[in-house]
Structure 1
Amino acid sequence: MRYFYDTEFDQTATGYDLISIGVVAEDGRTYEAVSAEADWDRISQNGWLMDNVVRHLPPQDEWKQRSTIADELFMFLTEDNERPELWGWFSSWDHTCLSKLYGGIPSPDWLPDFTHDLRAVIEYINLPRSVFRRLPIFVVNHSAIEDAWRTKETFDIVAPFLRTP
């Protein structure tokens, strides 16, 4: 099954600190979580993150430990007992954040070693300009779950132009 996801994170000198993750399954199921273990002191000093990311987060009493997020996400992504097919938008950083929940790269066997990057795919197909202009992904608001939905909506529009197995 395809899963469309997005993460919000704080870039640090040593990597990426997961703030939130939103995932939309091809069948419409969703998963959203915020990391209670993010460096909230550092994040609170970053005006851009406060203005563009933190304002979209669920209430603090819903935030979770990374281990809980990893466990719940594993259950969500493997519900159909198949290896998930991951899709994102500018997804290299998202995949890094996702993999870090499971100890980094290489990922565990059940998790793909890469995320299909829809933005890169669109670069290589001959997408009619009229379709390109309609893509919902260009309305990004830095809410992981909303951006995951936009990635799925964009995929659904672009899918007829893709050669898929």
Structure 2
Amino acid sequence: MKIFYDCEFIEDGHTIDLISIGMVAEDGRELYAVSCEFSFAALQRSDWLMANVAPSLPIKPADDGGPWDINHPDYPIVLPRKEIARRAAWFIQATPDVELWAWYGAYDHVALCQLFGRMIDLPAGVPMWTNDLKQEAARLGNPTMPKQEEGEHNALADARHNRLVHEFLIVERLRAEGGTR
């Protein structure tokens, strides 16, 4: 069973600092968590992150005494990385014959793995690779992808969209193969 996921993160060329993770399983289960440990200073230094990721986070504007907005509906899922790791492992391990899928998933996979420490520290049942939807799209000739209608750069909304992209790519693959499997 496939799990579609996305991570939002801060990266500086040396470190990938998880901001949030969203996961959607084919059976409808979902997981969303925001790290309470990412660097607010690094987030604020990035114009792109402030414009694209910060608006969906349960944080107060910098001039409002931040950082956390306890009245935001997502505030209950603001968690330490260790708890996010526990929940992500449980979510993945509860999925039979699991396959991980992400869009441009290399950094997402590193962000996921780093929740557990080193790659060799991954819990049993957590795959050591992520299948890449962008790679599959390239293999199919880069068809025009469905547009994400809302929530872009919110990890859960992006994971939901990744599921939609996967379904679209299945149709594209069948079309390319002449409608046969």
TM bucket (normalised to shorter chain) is: 0.7 to 0.9
Larger Rg: 2
Count matched residues.
159
Whichever residue aligns with residue 5 of structure 1, its letter is Y
Worse-matched range after superposition: 151-160 or 136-145: 136-145
Whichever residue aligns with residue 12 of structure 2, its letter is T
Contact in 1 for aligned 2:150/2:157 (Cα 8 Å): no
1:133 aligned residue: 144
Contiguous gaps of at least 5 residues in structure 2: 60-67, 69-74
1:43 aligned residue: 43
TM-score for the superposition, normalised by structure 1: 0.85
Worse-matched range after superposition: 68-77 or 43-52: 43-52
Identity of aligned residues (%): 33
Give the distance between the partners of 1:52 and 1:75, measured in 2 at CA: 29
Give the distance between the partners of 2:106 and 2:148, measured in 1 at CA: 17
Pairing 1:115–2:130 present: yes
Whichever residue aligns with residue 108 of structure 1, its letter is P
TM-score for the superposition, normalised by structure 2: 0.78
1:66/1:115 Cα in 2 relative to 1: closer, same or farther (>3 Å)?
same
Task: Give the alignment partner of residue 73 of structure 1, picking from 88, 110, 115.
Answer: 88
Contiguous gaps of at least 5 residues in structure 1: none
Structure 1 runs of 4+ with >3 Å offset:
58-61, 106-109, 136-140
Task: Give the alignment partner of residue 88 of structure 1, picking from 102, 122, 125.
Answer: 102
